[in-house]
Structure formats: structure tokens, C-alpha cells
Amino acid sequence: ILIPFLGLVLAFCFYSARENFKPEMLKGKRVIVTGASTGIGEQMAYHLARMGSHILVTARTEAKLQKVVEQCLKLGAASAQYVSGSMEDMAFAEHVVKEAENLLGGLDMLILNHIGKSYFSYFDGDVGHVQKLLRINFLSYVAMTVSALPMLKESGGSIVVVSSMAGKVGFPFTVPYSATKFALDGFFSSLRQEFSIQNVNVSITLCILGFINTESAMKAAADVVLMSPAPKEECALEIIKGGALRQREVYYKYASTKIPLLIRDWAADFLDYLVRKCYSVENLKKN
């Protein structure tokens, strides 16, 4: 009885000692947001703009990025610029970071958020697709981190990695995607340990998201996933807050992400069963 009680007291003390988020924390900060032409990335760019950051957004579709930049400037960004290209190409991933150096003169926060297109169905055995997705969703994150590290060390900055419940728990119908998200956890959680040992003052925040109402997620999964999606605007803000506060991990929404993970290590089969109950497999077959 005493151990859980002490645990609760310690958790409470830790929680109340945490610094509170203030939008001014992002004022004048130099931030890269990847995958910012749509969805959560686009919303993060708008939040950062309202907070007065210098923003560099990237994705493939130039026309959409131009509109995001225009909107960021209207919302009050200190500056807003874009670089377009595909993260399948590691040279492009490095180029984006170089552009941040040229255009912003340094970097305070690197928000890694983009994902390549995948399918929402049973694993089809296409190894080439898994390789391609690993390049876009994982290796480009590694390449950007390596390139950005000298600037982040100089600023005492932050790396924010957008992941998913599918990167912590086995979910059906997203096998290649889940593999890339689990890889992010392995890489960035290990790197965080080394930063700690080497006193590298760069924080790493891994964001564990549940189902969010972005256009692409709704199109792919709304008929099959029996959960209500959370709003992308609020999700985007929670990611930024977690990064600014240098939190180890962000759970959004807390009840649908953190609680299942508490079950995972004690009753994995039970959690798998609950996860399967959240899918309407009949609707998948009609897709």
C-alpha cells in the first residue's frame, strides 16, 4: 500500500513543480515544421505564427506551402518561409536544415512531423513500400536531426518527434506505418539517453497521438476506427507546448493514449483484444 501511495505523492510533487507553458516561450524562436502543408503540421505552423516565431515549413506541394506561409504572416509570424521537396531524398532533408541556417541564422526547434502515404488495410507483403516508408518516416528524421544538431546544441534547442499510438502498441491495418513509428521511439529514446550522459542540452520530445481529425486520417480510417477523432488544432498546440516545456513525451489525448499504455506491459493480450474491438473490420473489407 505504501509504495503506490509514495508514487502518487511523488507524481503530484513532480507535476506541480513543472513549469507552465506561456506562448511567449516561442516568440522570436526559429522553428522548422515538416509536413506543414496540411493536417497537424499546418496547424502547428499557425500556432507558432500567433506566438511570433520565425517559421520554416516544408512538404512536397509548393502551392499549399505558399498559402500556409501567407496565412502565417497574417497571423503574426516574425517571418515565414517554405522549402518544397520530398523527404524520400536524404539530400533534401539535409537541404531543409541548411536553408534554416541560411534564412534564420540558426535553429531553436526542429518539429519532425511529415509522413509518406501508406495504405490502411492488411499487410500486402510489399517490402519495397516498407523501405520507402522507412526512408520518409524514419531515415529523413535521422538525417535532419544529424544536420540540425550543431545549431540545436548552440541554441540549447529542442527536437520534437511526432509519433503515434501505433508506434507504442501493435495496431492492425497499418503495419508499414507502425514499423516506422516504433523505429522513431527506438532511435530518439536511445539518443536522449546519450544526450543525458554527454550533457547535451538538446531536448527530445516524442509525441504519442491517438486518432486526430485530419483530412487524410479521416479519409483512410474514419469508417473503420470506432473512436471519435480529436481536433487537430488542439493536438497541434499540445505538441508545441510539450516541445517548449522540454517534456520527454506528449500524450494526446491523455486518456486514450497514456491509460492503454499502462495496461500494455502488464496485460498485453488484453490490450490487444481491446484494440481489436476498436475496429469495424466489415467496413475495411468494403474499402
**Which residues contact ligand NDP (rule: CB under 6 A)?**
35-41, 59-61, 64, 86-88, 113-116, 136, 162, 164, 209, 211-212, 214, 216-217
DSSP letter (8 states) at residue 136 = I
DSSP state of 213: -
The length of the chain, given as a count of residues: 287
Q: Residue holding cell 495496431? A: 171
E strands, 243-284, in order = 249-252
Nearest residue (CB) to ligand NDP, 179 versus 197: 179
Q: How far is the CB of 253 from ligand NDP (least distance, A)?
A: 11
> Closest separation between CB of residue 57 and ligand NDP, Å?
9
Q: Cβ 2 to ligand NDP, closest distance in Å?
A: 38
Please list the active-site residues. Answer: 177
Q: Is 250 exposed, middle or buried (0-12, 13-18, 19+ CB in 10 A)?
A: buried
CA distance 175 to 168: 13
Task: Compare residues 196 and 287 and give the one whose CB is closer to ligand NDP.
Answer: 287
Q: Using CA atoms, how far apart are residues 4 and 102, in angstroms rounded to an integer? A: 52
Q: Which is nearer to ligand NDP, 126 or 199 (CB)?
A: 126
Q: Indicate the DSSP class of residue 173.
A: T
Q: Using alpha carbons, select from 129, 135, 170, 146 the residue that is nearest to residue 261.
A: 170
Residue 283 CB contacts under 8 Å (≥ 6 apart), including other chains: 223, 224
Smallest separation (angstroms) from ligand NDP to the CB of 14: 26
Q: Looking at beta carbons only, is 110 or 136 nearer to ligand NDP?
A: 136
Q: Which three cell numbers stand for residue 218?
A: 479521416
- Closest contact distance (angstroms) between CB of 81 and ligand NDP is 16
Amino acid, res. 82: Y
In the complex, residue closest to ligand NDP by CB: 39
Q: How many CA atoms lie less than 13 Å away from 61 in the CB half-sphere?
A: 11
> Residue 272 CB, nearest distance to ligand NDP (Å)?
18
- What are 83's strand-pairing partners? 58
- What DSSP string runs through 41-62? HHHHHHHHHHTT-EEEEEES-H
For ligand NDP, give the closer residue by CB, 162 or 237. 162
The answer to whether residues 116 and 123 touch, using CB atoms and an 8 Å cutoff, is no
Comparing CB distances to ligand NDP, the nearer of 51 and 209 is 209
